[in-house]
Structure 1
Amino acid sequence: MTPPTNSAPPDALAPPQDDGPSGNQSGRRDRVGVSLIILSAIAFSAKAIFVKLAYADTAGAAARIDPVTLLTMRMLLALPFFAVIAWWSSRGARLLDMRDWRTMVVIGLMGYYGASLLDFWGLLYISAALERLILFLNPTLVVLISAFALGYRIVRRDVFALVASYAGIALVFAHDLSFNPGKVWLGSSLVLLSALLYAGYLVGAGQMIKRVGATRFAAYASIISTVAITLHFFITRELTALTGQSSQVWKLAGWMAVVSTVLPVVMMAEGMRRVGSSNAAMMGSIGPIATIFMGAIFLGEPITGVQLAGATLVMAGVLAISLKKAKP
């Protein structure tokens, strides 16, 4: 039995796996696909930068942004786009029955509501670079969940991947721990829970994606999660928590909704259609490195040899799993 694997973060949804285009397809098609995958990975990675900038912008302000409010802003601003995608992808498609909807709701809440909220909370306490590396562990977590829950047999390649990935995380974690021990433990735990929740979502989502299609599933799951986080907001917050935010925070939320939510889902789907899932997994590994450098440029986070070494180990482990099903 082969577990579902994908290196996308909790705020992304993987299109169906495929073996990629045939060798006689044009170089231009491949170049466009490569560009889309790389841009998608960088755009997904920029989410942590937008979140950290929003937190920094409201530090000390009367209406300081919190994870629930910021995630609500992001999802509400992305909602119109996903509504259009849901309508477009549903044309001529079969209707979902009650069992489909129940499964869709449960899985959607795990990935886009629960995992994203834990991730936003974790970013209050840890660097963008460490957050992205922890989320990048998703394929290894899927393997572990599949082994315990579905009887998947772990092979030698999986062992290498697990050892390399978690050794890399340990390096970066120890590096950040020396600066702020208490907060790094808390933030890393929250983001790891986010990654675990999203890995569980990936394990459960495979059959639904086959039944309804990845684009339609992504749109429906996003809409369901938008309803959930909006209800969460109005139950626990006052409306002024939204209306009292500065125009700069709304701009950051808007950029996050478009650049790090809607566009990367579309670009990843089209890129995988052009170059195949195995190539996409390899090129998408640029995400953690992109986050490290964006964190240095926009947030002033230091770049060290330990971080780069840890990132290299994590990417090597994740690629070992993500490319397992690669075909010549």
Structure 2
Amino acid sequence: MKIKAYGIKEEGGKAEPFYYERSVGENEVRIKILYCSIARGDVQFISNDWGDTKYPLVPGHEIVGTVEETGSGVTALKAGDLVGVGYQQEACFACECCKAGNEQFCTQQKVIGVHCYGGLAEHIVVDNRFAFKLSPALHSAKSVPLLSSGLTVYTGIVKAQLPANSVVGVLGAGGLGQLAIQFLHKMGHKVYAFSHSLEKKEMINQLGAEFILSSSPGNLSELDKKFDFIISTLNVEYDLDAFLKILKPQGKFCVVASPLKKQSISIGLLYDYAQRTIYGNYVGSRKDMVEMLDFAARHNIESMVDVMSFSEMNEAIEKVRTGEVKIRLVLKNQE
């Protein structure tokens, strides 16, 4: 089948019509795309910030659509099912990681932007094991960011194995941060959100967190050894040491985004009268995805989104690039 997509042919280029051939294999499904997000990560792929973008690039790693065709070996999905697709599209299912249920670490995996085309298209064909059926409780447009951002922060939080009623912090209140706040709040923890934007205070409070203005150094010094857990969703430089100091002696610090430049750290803060932990998290497994979507549906967790049409894709990309959009931007396929 010839798939109509919208590709970027060179570093920093504009999206324009792009066609490619793709048949439906035995274990694959063809999905009619309804919604596709344009996230900061997509813009960084367009700019080749990480140096591994393959052009022509079809961005869009958070997708919601309906199944149109299934391969002969597909039994879990049928035509008409509403599904979500995230960053990862394939895994070998034979390596050590895959056998352990950690297919997100498969060395043979294929991900959007590096190995395969994404959701800025009329259709997409993926392995059915990476197309996840969505509950009717999840609003289609507002559920789109769950497929990557939601999965990433949820998995990072679960890995911390936090005791009940923990004191937790979220650095940043963008797409990742807003979802992290909601997950932590609905899990029953006391949530603080750090942001340099005072105008986000009301939104942060509505999501279930107490706002702390991170641009004021005094606000951090008053919180010495207060936090059980902090998750950083920041992609700009920040004072890592300052936040390690406000962790309890056995506190945990999870990183799900980072500046392009190296961050400095005082290693002594991890072990000096302490046993603090820093760890990162890369998306999540298929099991994590199912659990996250179920948790989101049960607790009415969704993203604040601005919806634009596919015809406005280049305007949308520019808005994300310049930071004009303060919430997640989702494109709706009108065709």
**Which TM-score band (shorter chain)?**
under 0.3
Would you tell me which structure has more strand in proportion to its own residues? Answer: 2
**Which one has a bigger Cα radius of gyration?**
2
Output the TM-score relative to the length of structure 2.
0.23
Output the TM-score relative to the length of structure 1.
0.23
